[in-house]
Amino acid sequence: MNRPQALRRQRLLAELPASSVAVIAAGYEQIRSRDTDYPFRNNSDFWYLTGFPEPEALLILTKDEAGQCSELLLCRDKDAEKEVWQGRRFGPEQAQQQFGITAASLSAQQAQLAAALKGKQQLWFCFGEDETLHHLLHQCQQQIRRTPRQSELAPQQQCNLRPLLSELRLFKDEHEITLMQQAATISAQAHKAAMQLCQPGMQEYQLEACIQYHCAMQGARYAAYNPIVGGGENACILHYTENNAGLRDGDLVLIDAGCELMGYAADITRTFPVNGRFSKEQAALYQLVLDAQLAALAEIKPGSSFALATQACYRVLTEGLHQLGILQGELSALIEAEAAKPWMIHSLGHWLGLDVHDVGAYQPKGSPPEPGAKNRPFEPGMVLTVEPGLYIPKGSDTDPKWWGIGIRIEDDVLVTAEGHRNLTAAVPKTIAEIEALMAAGKGTGDGQFD
């Protein structure tokens, strides 16, 4: 069996001690309003290990005292009446054939779980993430303990599966890298389309619609997160998602958007002038953010870290803000104090994968916990974002000519043995490239849905 999910299950089982059972639950359908649900999106851990798309399922992985392993998928039965109303189901037989894992009916989950738990020393699941699963496991253990004259006991230890799964998911396999590059390419094309479509008088949500339409037409129907389209001072709100304001001549617009493809996220931010031409002040700050990103990207390589990349970023930002007069004082002291932080109010980046802010430790294994520290050395197979920004809202303690400017530039980066690969390099980000692309599409809408 060479399905990537089967190999991932094998790697997880290899990490579990003998006499263990691990339980991972699928997601659940969520009600949106009367008789309607939100679009279903499966639990990332469950999807990572199975590729099975239906809700309510369970994955049970066991390792006995001799180290022998078994896998079982519990899923909903076929149901002709419900399938007429709610859509087709795989059922256990078809699920086993298509997904390469032993499958059984979810209706027998209590008995199947009890059988898996009996006699095991350790029960592994992700703590604090799924109350329904936690309650089910508690019921099964209580059932075992209350059964008279039994020769086997319920697990004596409960162990958090999150650290093991997070470590596995942090390092992307070739299948994941291929999907992430596809998601990045689709999202990159959508950003280019939005740049060419943009003109004064449009609404922010029209650029959002352009991005979503283009991604869907390329096979990525869902956004990886709620898109951010912030014109003017709205760009200074980091997670602005109202996207309901007009785009004004002379303002910048910041778009932070990416599609989800087969569960994997892209995450791109570009900032560009609504009218296609940067003003003097906009260009000065934009070039500074771009220079800071390039300095940070130079640090993305094995053995480096977010901490080192952030230092490189802050140095460039501090020097540039000092030259522009936004920061004043002795430059060396400003650099030492990381004086640019009030103007870049978020971290440099985050892990990326099945979740936009993906799982994975940011500190080295065995190191003392240090809140906010991101000093884990980069290794090949990690995927992360690099996204410096500058945000100067109205009323700031600066010359008013800078007010209302928010800029962020974000790319998705794969760490390789040689250094890194920018998965989203196809989106223009130099001032000349952006202005040329927007000029080519201005007034015609050409290219927005290519």
Sheet holding 252-257, edge to edge: 228-231, 252-257, 268-273
**Annotation marks residue 355 as catalytic:** no
**Annotation marks residue 35 as catalytic:** yes
Taking alpha carbons only, the member of 80, 85, 83, 102 closest to residue 9 is 102
Of 282-296, 321-335, 367-381, the poorest mean pLDDT is in 367-381
Q: Dihedral through CA 106, CA 110, CA 112, CA 118, nearest 10?
A: 160
Contact criterion met (CB below 8 Å) for 388 and 289: yes
Give pLDDT, residue 64: 94
Of 104-113, 222-231, 434-443, the poorest mean pLDDT is in 434-443
Rounded distance between C-alpha atoms, residue 337 and residue 340, angstroms: 8
**Annotation marks residue 410 as catalytic:** yes
User: Mean pLDDT across the stretch 199-217?
Assistant: 98
Residue 129: pLDDT band with limits 50, 70, 90: very high
What's the mean pLDDT when you consider all of the chain? 95
Residue 35: pLDDT band with limits 50, 70, 90: confident
Give pLDDT, residue 438: 97
User: Mean pLDDT across the stretch 322-347?
Assistant: 95
Cβ within 8 Å of residue 448, ≥6 positions away: 193, 194, 196, 197, 210, 214, 441
CA atoms within 13 A on the CB side of 105: 6
CB atoms within 10 A of CB 289: 23
Three-class SS state of 56: coil
- Among residues 3, 162, 277, 346, the one annotated as catalytic is 346
- Among residues 38, 138, 239, 242, the one annotated as catalytic is 239
> What burial letters (b/e) apply to 153-176, b meaning 16+ CB within 10 Å?
ebbeeebebbebbbbbbbbbeebb
pTM of the model: 0.95
Of 111-120, 221-230, 307-316, 349-358, the poorest mean pLDDT is in 111-120
Contact criterion met (CB below 8 Å) for 49 and 101: no
Give pLDDT, residue 241: 96
Q: Give the H or E element holding residue 411.
A: strand 411-415
Q: In this prediction, what percent of the chain has a pLDDT beyond 70?
A: 97
- Model confidence over 262-314: pLDDT tens digits? 999 999 999 999 999 999 999 999 999 999 999 999 999 999 999 999 999 99
Looking at the DSSP bridge assignments, the partners of residue 228 are 256
User: Mean pLDDT across the stretch 338-365?
Assistant: 96
- Among residues 65, 135, 357, 379, the one annotated as catalytic is 357
User: Mean pLDDT across the stretch 28-55?
Assistant: 95
Q: CA-CA distances (angstroms) from residue 226 to 19, 208, 213, 223, 257?
A: 43, 10, 14, 7, 7
Phi-psi region of 338 (alpha: psi -120 to 50; beta: other; left: phi over 0): left
**Annotation marks residue 350 as catalytic:** yes
3-state secondary structure 329-370: CCHHHHHHCCCCHHHCCCCCCCECCCCCCCCCCCCCCCCCCC
Residue 443 has pLDDT above 60, yes or no: no
Contact criterion met (CB below 8 Å) for 413 and 383: yes
**Annotation marks residue 267 as catalytic:** yes
Three-class SS state of 128: coil
- Among residues 410, 411, 412, 435, the one annotated as catalytic is 410
Residue tagged 């030492």 (tokens): 336
- Among residues 391, 411, 412, 420, the one annotated as catalytic is 391
Residue 344: pLDDT band with limits 50, 70, 90: very high
- Among residues 130, 387, 412, 435, the one annotated as catalytic is 387
Residue 447 has pLDDT above 60, yes or no: no
- Check residue 75 and report its DSSP letter: E
Residue 448: pLDDT band with limits 50, 70, 90: very low
Residue 66 has pLDDT above 90, yes or no: yes
User: Mean pLDDT across the stretch 371-385?
Assistant: 95
Rounded distance between C-alpha atoms, residue 49 and residue 227, angstroms: 28
User: Mean pLDDT across the stretch 139-160?
Assistant: 84
- Among residues 267, 358, 411, 412, the one annotated as catalytic is 267
Cβ within 8 Å of residue 249, ≥6 positions away: 200, 201, 274, 275
- Among residues 71, 256, 355, 411, the one annotated as catalytic is 256
Rounded distance between C-alpha atoms, residue 187 and residue 228, angstroms: 14
Residue 373: pLDDT band with limits 50, 70, 90: confident
φ and ψ at 251, to 5 degrees? -95, 160
Of 310-319, 362-371, 414-423, the poorest mean pLDDT is in 362-371
Residue 368 has pLDDT above 50, yes or no: yes
Contact criterion met (CB below 8 Å) for 404 and 233: yes
CA angle 267, 59, 29 (to 5 degrees): 60
Residue 442 has pLDDT above 80, yes or no: no
- Among residues 299, 408, 411, 420, the one annotated as catalytic is 408
Residue 44: pLDDT band with limits 50, 70, 90: very high
What sign results for the dihedral spanned by CA atoms 49, 353, 256, 345? positive
- Among residues 35, 131, 174, 397, the one annotated as catalytic is 35
Give pLDDT, residue 2: 60
- Among residues 76, 350, 376, 420, the one annotated as catalytic is 350
- Model confidence over 380-403: pLDDT tens digits? 999 999 999 999 999 999 999 999
Q: In this prediction, what percent of the chain has a pLDDT beyond 90?
A: 90
- Model confidence over 69-82: pLDDT tens digits? 999 999 999 999 99
Residue 149: pLDDT band with limits 50, 70, 90: low
User: Mean pLDDT across the stretch 197-223?
Assistant: 98
User: Mean pLDDT across the stretch 201-228?
Assistant: 98
**Annotation marks residue 134 as catalytic:** no
- Model confidence over 162-178: pLDDT tens digits? 999 999 999 999 999 99
Give pLDDT, residue 369: 81
**Annotation marks residue 387 as catalytic:** yes
Residue 48 has pLDDT above 80, yes or no: yes
Tell how strand 122-125 and strand 157-160 pair up: parallel
Looking at the DSSP bridge assignments, the partners of residue 124 are 22, 159
